Amino acid sequence: MEAILILEDGQTFYGQGFGAKTTAIGEVVFNTGMTGYQEVLTDPSYKGQMVIMTYPHIGNYGINPHDMESSHPHVEGFIVREFCSTPSNYRSLNTLDRYLRSQGIPGISGIDTRALTRHIREKGSMMGILSTNGTDKKELEARLRSFPKIIGRDLVQYVTIKNTMHWGQEVSSQWYYDSIQPLGEKRFRVLVYDFGCKWNILRLLFSFGMNVTAVPANTPAEFVLEQNPEGIFLSNGPGDPEGVPYAIENVRKLIGKKPIFGICLGHQILALALGARTYKLKFGHHGSNHPVRHEATQKIEITAQNHNFAVDAKSAEKAGLEITHLNLNDGTVEGMRHRELPLFSVQYHPEASPGPHDSLYLFQEFYRMMETHS
């Protein structure tokens, strides 16, 4: 089937459709990972976005139940140079085409993804509309013009869990990392604010010796303190951190009460709760090969990232935060720690393991922080 992708600045791309026969709207971003398309599809942080994969051949190892980062995909649309309809992998149980079709998500292939990526890099990420059902171009353009932008929207409400969830041995044992052992005899109780949490974060928290309870994003701080956990974790998630003021307010009430560790959106929410500022990046960071420098050791970590917003460094320092990690591509803040209070956070995804396990020490630091303050 024929497919069309229209960007808000009028740029139009024609290609072949795959996946669902439908129309979708989202912010168009590009991901530079050579593998991991299934993790990208099921990462709740991509809610509201259509993803371009810069690697040209996608779908060649199919879809399997073990690489899921949530129960279903969250991308609005999928954009590739060439998709493979006949995958070859011993774990594959489905094709990319059938999987997206079953989930109601459209895809477009056969377009010049290099040209599209260069356009996004030059002009910045922007809204787009993707149709595989033959809708008239003028109608698509009208729908795109009337669709709200990402800035200021609460996308977390669409991906957070609805009820409290316990993540224990019965669901973690099959994912247990043989190379990871609990760091002490005590299993600390950690409460996770689910802003769109990836499953691998929960697996690693458990593997490092923590009993995990996830709660919805709008859970009051008073309820969290009543549970009396040893630590609080702020998860990744989609969209603009300023679009979830209820999360910022709840985190503000928790600061100084318990050790806190934040990742991605949780990192940004923590910064805002402390009085720092965030801003939108031109085209964001999306991929599994971003170099980050740990300032204390000067070591370089190869990291996975997925975010369109960043923390302003000067405002963070005024809020009592020390910048612990920097992005070597553009100098943006990738990690911070409070100078006095037991809390720290990173912008990237230490759980994603894009080949190396450079950043797993952060889970150890969280455990040690709880040991010190319990």
Answer whether 210's CB lies under 8 Å from 126's CB: no
Q: Closest Cα to residue 358, out of 306, 294, 266?
A: 294
CA distance 364 to 374: 15
- Pairing relationship of beta strands 278-294 and 321-327 according to DSSP bridges: antiparallel
Containing 23, the helix (H) or strand (E) segment is strand 23-31
CA distance 146 to 143: 5
Looking at 230, 264, 267, 294, which residue is catalytic? Answer: 264
Looking at 74, 285, 338, 349, which residue is catalytic? Answer: 349
Active site residue 84: no
For residue 225 the two structure tokens come to 């303190």
Active site residue 264: yes
- Residue 79's CB is within 10 A of a number of other CB atoms, namely 29
CA distance 7 to 141: 9
Ramachandran angles phi, psi of 115, nearest 5°: -65, -40
For residue 209 the two structure tokens come to 């010796």
Report how far apart, in Å, the C-alpha atoms of 67 and of each of 277, 303, 360, 363 are. Answer: 34, 18, 19, 21
Answer whether 319's CB lies under 8 Å from 275's CB: yes
Active site residue 122: no
CA distance 176 to 183: 14
Q: Reduced to 3 states, what is the DSSP secondary structure of residue 36?
A: coil
Please give the full DSSP string across 273-297, using - where no structure is assigned: HTT--EEEEEEEEEEEEEEEEETTT
List active site positions.
264, 349, 351
